[in-house]
Amino acid sequence: MTPQINPLAPPSYNGLPDDSPEGYVDVDFSYVYDVVLTANQVLKDQAVSTMNDADFAMRAVVIAFNTGSFSARFSDSQGYYLSNGLIASGNLIGDAASPLPIWPEILIPAGGRIGIDITETSGNPNTVEILFRGVKRYRIA
């Protein structure tokens, strides 16, 4: 039987050596997107800005909280979408117990952005919290 690894866990938890690129160190981090949507509201070109201290390697999406259904589409800092269209929240399967893995990781440069298009589809007000899980990639001297 081959061992199973968790691609979201730090490498040391999987019994693997640190896989940070040479000259860098990776530190677990999450960016949070919170929004309150009115019934059937459509928001385009929303963004989560990344901090200027380190690049961010996005490895998973987690729907931390929602009060109704919605559809979303994400893009990297260059504006390239990760899907051709909006994905229904029920199909993201990105809850805390089973995050939606992104493989290979997507590198967002320091001071970059994660783009979001989101549409409320339940017909009721909806509070949504989405986590973008990954690591901050710090350059070491």
pLDDT digits (tens, 9 = 90+) for 32-77: 999 999 999 999 999 999 999 999 999 999 999 999 999 999 999 9
Q: Please state which of the four CATH numbers 2.60.120, 3.40.50, 1.10.3470, 1.20.120 is assigned to the domain occupying 31-139.
A: 2.60.120
User: Which DSSP string do the residues of 87-117 spell out, in sequence order?
Assistant: EEHHHH--BTTB-EEEEEEEEE-TT-EEEEE
What is the DSSP secondary structure assignment for residue 86, as one 8-state letter?
A: -
Dihedral sign computed on CA atoms, order 79, 45, 71, 64: positive
Q: Note the pLDDT of residue 16.
A: 58
Domains of the chain, residue spans: 31-139
